[in-house]
Structure 1
């Protein structure tokens, strides 16, 4: 099936939703790899020369402003209550994105040791989520995990935002990062089994990849009592949908993992998950790229798009 047709199919699928009852509370959590959201200021700590006004990408105020407006258009259309971001260069870039949004968000940003200067951040609506604890967690790579514990409308939720090493890095680094991520989440669960865990990020691997299955032990309970996580986007991936295209294949690199506390009991419960996409986020394009996520640069040429990834989301109700 051609990529553009597949994209059109899950664009329609992404619009389908059940109507919530009047008495039901609903919150949405999202994750978005925004692809190289650099500011225009040269860094003294890493080489970002390409993304400066005099650099190879011609990254001046006009292109930077267009990137902010494009990302804001996506986030405003999605309207999540909480959203994790990957590939932001600096607090300045996060702050200026927040200022471009129509909705009022607070933000949390931490500088990581990534060699390209790529960080993760969290945006949240202050009337929905109240952070109580923030820390960075070593990841076996330069991209530390962002851990935020807080109250989601009065109920404790533990969020972990991550961006794992890419397919172009050493495979062992990604495996080590996955293992460390799982051990951290498992330690939180063992310290307080009542805590609700949400892990979101760009894992740079499909959920069916061996490293992902081994690290998260998804799809089965384990005898040692460690936390059981489920991937609510698995059904979409099995049907051929994804968040990122590589060599004409949709991959689900961007993902959510929730603990089984969201499947039963009182409080927040898992309702649905999806890949957020609108037709204007996709390339109308030529050269075989029609239906791909419309990115900012394609083969070195400026295309003025959004990101090479599509955002993913989950909705909870109670």
Structure 2
């Protein structure tokens, strides 16, 4: 099912910049067992997770708190169970923190785990569609309408790295090819569109499936000016200092990963000579694109503080760490048009 919901959203005047975020919120399941079966049986009160309504509500509260601190205009979410869960998070953001994020887009995927993608926005959403990606989850595609302009979002969640490595790489390669094909098809019909591809790709920003197959490059000059079937997208993670790019920590190998990305079409790179789309990415400035990791969201060693059941000596068997997610969000700012200072630099 494809759906868009509007509860309340307030904005006035012409908008010249927006904050965009993406976040894998890690297993945001309600406590109700899916009557048609599926993988949500572990997220029930009597399961090994002891996933009670109180714990579910606490996680919703915790996620809403983080989102209120980001204060995004648009946030792309991964690992939400269904529309009801996404709507409850949206409602909590508004009721507890007063943010005017009143528009929701969601698609039911065919994922075996029962996890979907969603978008919560301050601005109206239209054209919601489900785009196959060569795997079970598919891609959520939607247009966020801002004044008389629009930004088209492709929200992805690619195959995880759990299981057999070669098989996983093959699946992510298929996903990369499928999503690229879908984005190129859209851009051929809408060449001046502002397009953002965001999500959890389960690939580091410089890995093969993203760089070689999807062709999301890590240098602006490689992307700028490319078009047609030769388009090279630009991964905004490249703008973050190397020692600040990690959004997911793989404890077994003790390594930081850059699985979460915000990628843009080359037309969105600011160029005074190029009329381009209505919305652009900022020039490279410190902090414009960043991993959002408040101290409260981190373990003592800096890892993301997840909300999960753990076994700790002296604690009850069903003890939960009061955290958030095993991923940090990625945040960036998009600008409307070409800033005056960029125009002046282009005239020199």
TM-score calculated relative to the size of structure 2: 0.78
What corresponds to 1:58 in structure 2?
50
What corresponds to 2:10 in structure 1?
none
Say whether 1:269 aligns with 2:280: yes
- The question of whether the paired residues in 1 share the 8 Å contact of 2:202 and 2:259 is answered with yes
> Structure 1 residue aligned with 2:247, among 243, 250, 254?
243
- Alpha-carbon separation, structure 2, partners of 1:116 and 1:38: 11
Secondary structure of the corresponding residue to residue 240 of structure 2: helix
What corresponds to 2:211 in structure 1?
213
- Alpha-carbon separation, structure 1, partners of 2:126 and 2:106: 15
- The question of whether the paired residues in 1 share the 8 Å contact of 2:305 and 2:324 is answered with yes
What corresponds to 2:186 in structure 1?
188
TM-score calculated relative to the size of structure 1: 0.85
Select between 262-271 and 208-217 the one with higher mean Cα deviation: 262-271
Gaps of 5+ in 2: 1-13, 283-287, 312-318, 337-348
- The question of whether the paired residues in 2 share the 8 Å contact of 1:236 and 1:242 is answered with no
Structure of higher CA gyration radius: 2
**Residue 208 of structure 1, CA deviation:** 0.9
Aligned ranges 1:144-159 → 2 under 5 Å: 144-159=138-153
- Alpha-carbon separation, structure 2, partners of 1:191 and 1:132: 17
Gaps of 5+ in 1: 1-22, 285-289
Say whether 1:260 aligns with 2:266: yes
What corresponds to 2:332 in structure 1?
314
- Alpha-carbon separation, structure 1, partners of 2:66 and 2:228: 42
Cα offsets for 1:220-263 (capped at 9, x unmatched): 35686433311111142634531100132211100011112222
- Alpha-carbon separation, structure 2, partners of 1:91 and 1:223: 36
> Structure 1 residue aligned with 2:235, among 216, 220, 231?
231
**Residue 25 of structure 1, CA deviation:** 2.2
**Residue 155 of structure 1, CA deviation:** 1.4
Q: 1:111 to 1:224 in 2, by over 3 A?
A: closer
Cα offsets for 1:89-129 (capped at 9, x unmatched): 1112111111211223221111111111001100001xxx3
Select between 62-71 and 301-310 the one with higher mean Cα deviation: 301-310
- The question of whether the paired residues in 1 share the 8 Å contact of 2:129 and 2:140 is answered with yes
- The question of whether the paired residues in 1 share the 8 Å contact of 2:188 and 2:228 is answered with no
What RMSD, in angstroms, separates the aligned Cα atoms of the two structures?
2.0
- Alpha-carbon separation, structure 2, partners of 1:36 and 1:256: 21
Cα offsets for 1:149-192 (capped at 9, x unmatched): 24233212211001000011522111101111111111111122
What corresponds to 1:7 in structure 2?
none
- Alpha-carbon separation, structure 2, partners of 1:59 and 1:291: 26
Query: Which has the bigger relative contact order, CA under 8 A and spacing at least 6?
Result: 1
What corresponds to 1:291 in structure 2?
302
**Residue 79 of structure 1, CA deviation:** 0.6
- Alpha-carbon separation, structure 2, partners of 1:237 and 1:181: 27
Secondary structure of the corresponding residue to residue 44 of structure 1: coil
> Structure 1 residue aligned with 2:128, among 105, 130, 134?
134
Number of aligned residue pairs: give it: 288
What corresponds to 2:67 in structure 1?
75
- Alpha-carbon separation, structure 2, partners of 1:223 and 1:315: 23
Secondary structure of the corresponding residue to residue 68 of structure 1: helix
What corresponds to 1:287 in structure 2?
none
- Alpha-carbon separation, structure 2, partners of 1:153 and 1:28: 15
What corresponds to 2:341 in structure 1?
none
